[in-house]
Amino acid sequence: MTSSKLYNAIFAAGISLILASLMIGIKLDTDGSTLAVRGATATQWMWIGGGIAVVFFSQLFSAQVDALFGAIPKPNIKAMLPQDQKMTTLKPWLIAALIVVMLIWPFMVSRGSVDLATLTLIYIMLGLGLNIVVGLAGLLDLGFVAFYAVGAYTYALLSQYFGMSFWACLPISAAMAAAFGFLLGFPVLRLRGDYLAIVTLGFGEIIRILLNNWTSITGGPNGISGIAKPGLFGLEFNRRAKEEGAVTFHEYFNMDYDSSYKVIFLYLIAVILVIGVIYLINRLMRMPIGRAWEALREDEIACRSLGLNRTAIKLSAFTLGASTAGFAGCFFAARQGFISPESFVFIESAIILAIVVLGGMGSQMGIIFAAIIMTILPEIAREFSEYRMLLFGLLMVIMMRWRPEGLVPMKRPNLELKQP
Amino acid sequence: MSQLLLDVNGLTMRFGGLLAVNGVNLKVKNRQIVSVIGPNGAGKTTVFNCLSGFYIPTEGSVMLRDQQIAGLKDYQISRKGLVRTFQHVRLFQKMTVIENMLVAQHRHMNTNLLSGLLKTPNYRRLEKDAMNHAAHWLEEVGLLAFANREAGNLSYGQQRRLEIARCMVTQPELLMLDEPAAGLNPNETKELDELIIKLRDVHEISILLIEHDMSLVMGISDHIYVIAQGTPLADGNAEQIKGNPDVIKAYLGEE
C-alpha cells in the first residue's frame, strides 16, 4: 500500500465530510418568523460518520474491492437470448404482443399508474425527438424544451382563444415547433459542438422568458388553465357536456361516469403517438436523409466534398426533432389542462438530454428504457424526498462510469448488399 | 478532341499576411492525368482547397467547362462534377462500405420525406439504382466482396480505394486526388497506378493529382505542374520536369 493511496483516501473522506456536513448536517428551519440554523441530530451524525468511513476504506482498499468484484462471475446474457436468426423471426410477434399488453394494461391497474405511464410516454416522445438531433445528427441541443413549450402553448392558446380541438391542433403544434426549429436552426447551424449547445441553451431560456413576460397573451407566470381535453370523435370525457346538446362519452355508450376513462383515453392517445413516432424514426434511419445525418456526424468535411448540403441536412434534423417535441407539447398541454412557463425550465432540457445519453445515443430501445427509468425512479424514490436528486446524480455517475455508451448501445440498421 | 476541362488562371490565396498560393495557372484537358508536385508546404493542398470550394480564393478565376466556379460553395462545386479525396482518408468509419457509397449518391436519390415513408415506387426504383451503381463501382475497385463490412475495418489500401470509388459514384468529370499513394505499400501503389489509368482510359474522366511518389507521378502523368512556396515554378511533361534545373534546385537545394 503506497502513501498516494492513503492520501487519496484521506482526500476523498475529507471531501465527503465537507459535503455531507453542509448538505445533511446543517438545516435551515423556520423559527417563528425568522430562520434558524439547526445542526443534525446525533443519529444523523452517526450515519454521516459511517458514510465517511465507508468512503475512506473503499478508497484505501480500492484495488482489493475491484478484485473482489472482478471475481463475481458475470452472467452471460448473450447466451440466454435466442439466436440472432430466431430473433428476427420472433421480433414482429414480440412487438405485437408488447403493443397488445400496452393497450390492455391500463384497464387493470390504478388510475395513478396509468397517469404515470402517460407521463413516461411523453418523455419517451421527447427523448426520441431529441435523439434525432443529438443521437443521429450529432448536434448538441440544450434548449430542446423550447420546442416542447412552443407545442404546448400553441395548443393552449388556440384552444383558449379560438376554441380549437386537440386533434386539429396536434398537427398545427408540430408545425409551429418545426417552424421555430427552422428559424433557430438557420442562423446557428454553422456552429458546432459547444457553441451550438450554448446558443440552443440561450434559445430555450428566451422562449421561457418570453412566455413569462408576454402577459397579455400567455398569461405570464399564471399560465393558461382550462385547456380542453381531447375528445373521441366529438365525444367529451367530462361528467357533463360543456355545451348544450353535446353528448359525452359515457352517455353515448350508456355507461356510468368514471373519471378514469379520461385518464385511460389520454394514455391510449399517448401510446398511439409514441408508436407513430417510433415508426417514423425507424423509417427515417433507413432513408437517404437518415444516412446523411449519420454521415454528417461521422465526417462533415467528407460530406461537403461529396455534394451534400450540410445546412439543409442539419436543418432537416433540427426541424424534425422540434416537430416531435411539438407533438409532445400539444399532448402535454391537453393532459395537464394547465400550463405555465414553470413546466419548461432548463432542468427539463437536461432531463431529456440525460434520457438520450443514458439510453444510448441513437438507440431507440435505450431511450425508451431510460425514459421509463427517469420518470418512474423519482416516483419510487419519493420517500427519500430531498435526497432523490442525490440518488439521481449517483445513478448517472455510475452509468457513465460503467456503461458510457448507454443502457442499450445503438445498433445501426445496416443496409446489406444482397450478393447475386 | 482534347477540349479544355479545367482552366485556372492567376489563382491566389492569402491568409492575412501569408501568401499561400501566388498566381497559379493550371490547365486540365479531357481525359488527361495532370499532376501537381512540389516540396512540402508548397501550397499544393491549398490549391486543391481553393478549387474544391473549401476556401474561397482571394484572386483568380477557376473555369470548369467555361463556367466560373470560384466562389461557389463546396457542395455546389462537387455537384458540377469536380470531386476530391483527402490527404487523410475521410470515410464514414462506422457505416458499411455500401452505405458509404449510398451517402455519396444522396442527391441522386428521392429525398422526399413522404415518398420515403410510404416507399413509393419511384423511391424504391431510385434506391435500387443507387445500390446497383454502388455495386458496380465497388466491383471496379475490387471491393465488392467487402460491401457489407464496416468501412473502418478495411485495410488502409482498401480504404483509399473505397474513397476513390465513393467519389466516382457521384459521376464526376474531374477527380482530384490528394496524395492517394501516401502510406501504401509498393504493391498497392502499383494497383492504384493501374486504377488511375483505367479511370482515364475506360471511364474517360480527367484526374488532377497531388503526389510525392515520383515514380507514380512520372509514370502516369500527361502533364506536370511544379509549385514551390506557393508560386508556379515549371510545367511540362515528365521528361521536361526531370531535366529542369529549377525543379531540381527546389527539391534538393542549391549547391
Candidates A100, A230, A251; CA nearest to A165 is: A230
Among A291, A294, A416, select the one facing B148 at the smallest CB separation: A416
Contact B103 A292 (CB under 8 A): yes
Cα B248 from Cα B255, distance rounded (Å): 11
CB A196 within 8 A of CB A140: yes
A298 vs B: CB within 8 A: yes
Residue A176 belongs to a domain: yes
Candidates A387, A360, A388; CA nearest to A376 is: A388
Contact B148 A412 (CB under 8 A): no
Ranking A46-55, A142-151, A326-335, B153-162 by mean pLDDT, the lowest is: A46-55
Tens digit of each residue's pLDDT (9 = 90 or more) over B22-32: 889 999 999 99
A66 and A189 belong to one structural domain: no
The H or E element containing residue B210 is: strand B206-210
Ranking A5-19, A23-37, A115-129, A167-181 by mean pLDDT, the lowest is: A23-37
Q: Which of B103, B123, B136 to mutate to test the interface with A (most CBs of A within 10 A)?
A: B103
Tens digit of each residue's pLDDT (9 = 90 or more) over A100-129: 888 888 787 788 888 888 999 999 999 999
Q: What is the mean pLDDT of residues B10-16?
A: 90
Is the per-residue pLDDT at A40 higher than 80?
A: no
Dihedral of alpha carbons B85, B91, B97, B101, sign: negative
Contact A307 B98 (CB under 8 A): no
pLDDT band with cut points at 50, 70 and 90 for residue A419: low
Where among A20, A38, A71 does a domain terminate?
A: A71
Contact B98 A306 (CB under 8 A): no
CA distances from B253 to A2, A46, B71, B246 (A): 58, 79, 36, 10
Contact B98 A295 (CB under 8 A): no
Which ipTM was obtained for this model? 0.88
Cα A207 from Cα A201, distance rounded (Å): 10
A222 and A362 belong to one structural domain: yes
**Which regions of chain B carry the CATH code 3.40.50.300?**
1-81+172-255
Full residue range of the structural domain in which residue A126 is found? 93-231+258-402
Structural domain count of chain A? 2
Is the per-residue pLDDT at B17 higher than 80?
A: yes
The H or E element containing residue B13 is: strand B4-15
pLDDT band with cut points at 50, 70 and 90 for residue A234: low
Chain A residues in contact with B45 by the CB 8 A cut-off are: none
Q: What is the mean pLDDT of residues A385-393?
A: 72
Tens digit of each residue's pLDDT (9 = 90 or more) over B85-107: 998 889 998 888 999 999 888 88
What is the reported pLDDT for A320? 93
pLDDT band with cut points at 50, 70 and 90 for residue A153: very high
Across chain B, what does the average pLDDT equal? 87
Q: What is the mean pLDDT of residues B138-164?
A: 89
A48 and A157 belong to one structural domain: no
Q: What is the mean pLDDT of residues A265-287?
A: 89
Contact B99 A307 (CB under 8 A): no
Cα A217 from Cα A110, distance rounded (Å): 37
What is the reported pLDDT for A225? 84
Across chain A, what does the average pLDDT equal? 82
Contact B99 A415 (CB under 8 A): yes
Is the per-residue pLDDT at A273 higher than 60?
A: yes
Residue A416 belongs to a domain: no
A61 and A98 belong to one structural domain: no
A65 and A98 belong to one structural domain: no
In CATH, the number for domain B1-81+172-255 is 3.40.50.300
Tens digit of each residue's pLDDT (9 = 90 or more) over B211-245: 888 888 888 899 999 998 888 888 888 888 888 88
The H or E element containing residue A87 is: helix A84-104
- Cell triple for B34: 495532370
CB A296 within 8 A of CB B93: no
pLDDT band with cut points at 50, 70 and 90 for residue B1: very low
Among A289, A294, A301, select the one facing B111 at the smallest CB separation: A289
Q: What is the share, in percent, of chain A residues with pLDDT greater than 70? A: 86
What is the reported pLDDT for A242? 62
Tens digit of each residue's pLDDT (9 = 90 or more) over B188-215: 899 899 999 999 999 889 999 998 888 8
More confident residue, A390 or B6: B6
Residues facing B18 on adjacent strands: B15
Min Cα separation B100/chain A (Å): 8
Q: What letter represents residue A115's amino acid?
A: D
- Cell triple for B163: 474513397
A19 and A130 belong to one structural domain: no
Helical pair B97-104 and B156-168, crossing angle rounded to 10 deg: 30
Residues facing A235 on adjacent strands: A232
A187 vs B: CB within 8 A: no
A20 and A136 belong to one structural domain: no
What is the reported pLDDT for A251? 66
Residues facing A221 on adjacent strands: none
Residue A146 belongs to a domain: yes
Chain B residues in contact with A302 by the CB 8 A cut-off are: 86, 90-92
What is the reported pLDDT for A137? 87
The H or E element containing residue B64 is: strand B59-64
Residue A79 belongs to a domain: no
Residue A243 belongs to a domain: no
Contact B170 A306 (CB under 8 A): yes
Q: What is the share, in percent, of chain B residues with pLDDT greater than 90? A: 27
pTM of the model: 0.79
Tens digit of each residue's pLDDT (9 = 90 or more) over A159-202: 888 888 888 889 999 999 999 999 888 877 777 778 888 888 99
CA A125 to chain centre: 8
